[in-house]
């Protein structure tokens, strides 16, 4: 055990730096990220592709592939027994014991995570048998119970289905069942609804809320969609260029955005009340100009500066500090008070 975190906190990421190091360069994919996730709550990490949010989740799970390394910082996790562990210092063997039992993860596309050669019942049962002292029959019965928990219709008959025999929404439910099979205290969901249509997306979000209440787990929810965040999160971390640019409770963030990037992301979210004009005509969707810079070529100062309509010359002089903007809110913008 190592480190100390608040009694109501299950995960504390402190100054995390995850770099991809080669002989030619060191790309700082995650550069000094800090946040806390409270027990039983959902923290959303938001940002475009390339912002560092998924690399953060892979760092927590110990799933970085070479040349990725954790170059500094701590990832403090409180297990079910109350012990605190620094995941940043874990060995691969320690991670294998922790994954699935204490921390689980679901991904955007279940077909890349489910084995097409085994039935869904066998795959859920294998996860249970890996961490629990059960025989094959007991594992099968628990797998069936998990399929019922995730509300798959006629679960008993679907237990022997292969992944290709299920719809995308059903496969995602199977992934959730597998992730929760050993009752982990932390679930990391990396873009779990992006590949689904809007109706199925809403069903999965509603399912996660109900499972969270039933299992008492905490959720780290990775997404690029602020509209999804409004449905599920208690707190929000917005990332850009490998850094946290804004952090706030979800209601505070939607009431007032203190960083131009967050404001731009919210404006990109479809809104019928805003996007339909007085004549009933749909207006063009807002977009943030430019693209996320590669981590190997971040601009000087504020990484968002070249895309920001509020940028000043001072923005490129130095990286802005993450400063308080409220009781539990922070922004990395020198003009946050004007927003």
Q: What is the DSSP letter of 284?
A: P
Does the pLDDT at position 335 exceed 80? Answer: yes
Phi and psi at residue 302, to the nearest 5°: -70, 125
35 DSSP β-pair partners: 13
CATH (domain of 247): 3.40.50.300
Question: Residues with Cβ < 8 Å from 301, sequence gap 6 or more?
Answer: 314, 315, 316, 317, 318, 319, 320
Total number of domains in the chain:
2
Residue 219 lies in a domain: yes
Element at 92 (helix H, strand E): helix 92-98
Q: Identify which of 234, 182, 183, 231 has the alpha carbon closest to the alpha carbon of residue 207.
A: 231
Whether 31 has a pLDDT exceeding 70, the answer reads yes
Give the pLDDT confidence score for residue 282 in this predicted structure: 67
pLDDT band at 3 (very low <50, low <70, confident <90, very high): low
Q: Does the pLDDT of residue 272 top 60, yes or no?
A: no
What CA–CA distance (Å, rounded) separates 110 from 94? Answer: 25
Beta strands in 22-134 (DSSP E): 26-38, 42-46, 68-78, 84-86, 103-106
> What confidence tens digit (pLDDT) does each residue in 181-235 have?
999 999 999 999 887 888 889 999 999 999 999 999 999 999 998 989 998 999 9
Q: Do 267 and 228 fall into the same domain? A: yes
What count of residues does the chain have? Answer: 339
Q: Give me the half-sphere count of Cα atoms (radius 13 Å) on the Cβ side of residue 312.
A: 8
Q: Are residues 32 and 135 in the same domain?
A: no
Extract the tokens encoding 153. Answer: 């219709």
CB 84 within 8 A of CB 76: yes
- Residue 252, helix vs strand vs coil: helix
Q: What SS3 string covers 140-177?
A: HHHHHHHHHHCCCCCHHHHCCCCHHHCCHHHHHHHHHH
Judge whether 295 lies within some domain: no
The arithmetic mean of pLDDT across residues 248-272, rounded, is: 91
Please tell me the distance from the alpha carbon of residue 325 to that of residue 252, in angstroms, as a whole number: 11
Q: Mark which of 253, 276, 299 sits at the end of a domain.
A: 276
Are residues 193 and 257 located together in one domain of the fold? yes
Q: Sheet of 9-21: strands edge to edge?
A: 26-38, 9-21, 68-78, 84-86
70, part of any domain: yes
Answer for the pair 70, 59: CB distance below 8 angstroms, yes or no.
yes
Q: What is the CA radius of gyration of the chain?
A: 21
Top-confidence residue, 263 or 193: 263
Half-sphere exposure of 326 (CA within 13 A, CB side): 17
| Residue 291 belongs to a domain | no
- Do residues 35 and 13 touch, judged by C-beta distance below 8 A? yes
Q: Average pLDDT of 78-98?
A: 94
> Which 3 state secondary structure label does DSSP give 188?
strand
* The model's pTM: 0.94
Between 109 and 263, the more confident residue is: 263
Q: Tell me, what's the pLDDT at 305?
A: 97
Quick one: pLDDT at residue 63? 94
Q: How much of the chain exceeds pLDDT 70, in percent?
A: 96
User: Is 233 a domain residue?
Assistant: yes
User: Which residues, at least 6 apart from 131, have a Cβ–Cβ distance to it below 8 Å?
Assistant: 100, 101, 182
Instruction: For residue 89, give the H/E element and its range.
Output: none
Task: Tell me if 334 is assigned to some domain.
Answer: no
- Does the pLDDT of residue 158 top 90, yes or no? yes
Mean of pLDDT values over 241-260: 97
**pLDDT at residue 116 is higher than 70:** yes
Question: Does the residue 299 lie in any domain?
Answer: no
User: Do 174 and 51 share a structural domain?
Assistant: no
Confidence class of residue 134 from pLDDT cuts 50, 70 and 90? very high
Alpha helices for 162-290 (secondary structure H):
168-180, 198-215, 226-232, 250-255, 260-268, 272-275
User: Does the pLDDT value for residue 147 go beyond 60?
Assistant: yes
44 and 80: one domain? Answer: yes
Q: In the predicted model, is pLDDT for residue 1 greater than 70?
A: no
Of the listed ranges 7-11, 128-132, 140-144, 281-285, the one predicted with least confidence: 281-285
222 inside domain: yes
Distance of CA 2 to the CA centre of its chain: 24
Same domain, 36 and 173: no
Summarize the confidence of residues 139-158 as an average pLDDT: 96
- CB 5 within 8 Å of CB 78: yes
Instruction: Tell me the residue range of the domain where 257 lies.
Output: 9-102+184-276
Q: What backbone torsions phi and psi does residue 338 show, to the nearest 5 degrees?
A: -85, -10
| Residues 160 and 55 both lie in one domain | no
Q: What is the pLDDT of residues 48-78, one digit of tens each?
A: 999 999 999 999 999 998 899 999 999 999 9
Residue 88 and residue 142 in one domain: no
């Amino acid at each position: 055990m190592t480190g100390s975190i608040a009694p109501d906190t299950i995960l504390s990421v402190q100054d995390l730096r995850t770099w991809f190091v080669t002989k030619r360069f060191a790309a700082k994919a995650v550069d000094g990220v800090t946040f806390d996730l409270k027990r039983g709550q959902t923290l959303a990490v938001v940002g475009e592709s390339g912002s560092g949010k998924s690399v953060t989740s892979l760092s927590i799970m110990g799933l970085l592939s070479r040349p990725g390394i954790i170059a500094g910082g701590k990832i403090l996790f409180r297990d079910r027994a109350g012990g605190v562990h620094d995941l940043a210092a874990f060995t691969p063997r320690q991670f294998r014991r922790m994954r699935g039992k204490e921390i689980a993860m679901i991904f955007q596309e279940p077909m890349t995570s489910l084995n097409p050669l085994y039935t869904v019942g066998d795959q859920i049962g294998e996860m249970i048998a890996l961490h629990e002292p059960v025989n094959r029959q007991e594992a099968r019965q628990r797998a069936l119970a998990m399929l019922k928990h995730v509300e798959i219709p006629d679960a008993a008959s679907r237990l022997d289905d292969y992944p290709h025999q299920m719809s995308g929404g059903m496969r995602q439910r199977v992934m959730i069942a597998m992730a929760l099979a050993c009752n982990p205290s932390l679930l990391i969901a990396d873009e779990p609804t992006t590949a689904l249509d809007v109706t199925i997306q809403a069903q999965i979000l509603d399912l996660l809320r109900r499972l969270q209440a039933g299992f008492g787990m905490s959720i780290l929810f990775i997404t690029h969609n602020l509209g999804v965040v409004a449905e599920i999160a208690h707190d929000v971390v917005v990332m850009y260029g490998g850094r946290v640019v804004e952090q706030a409770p979800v209601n505070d963030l939607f009431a007032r955005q203190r960083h131009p990037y967050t404001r731009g992301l919210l404006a990109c979210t479809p809104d019928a009340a805003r996007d339909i004009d007085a004549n009933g005509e749909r207006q063009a969707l807002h977009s943030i100009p430019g693209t996320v810079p590669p981590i190997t070529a971040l601009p000087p100062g504020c990484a968002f500066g070249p895309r920001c309509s509020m940028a000043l010359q001072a923005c490129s002089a130095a990286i802005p500090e993450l400063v308080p903007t409220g009781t539990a809110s922070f922004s990395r913008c020198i003009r946050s008070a004007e927003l």
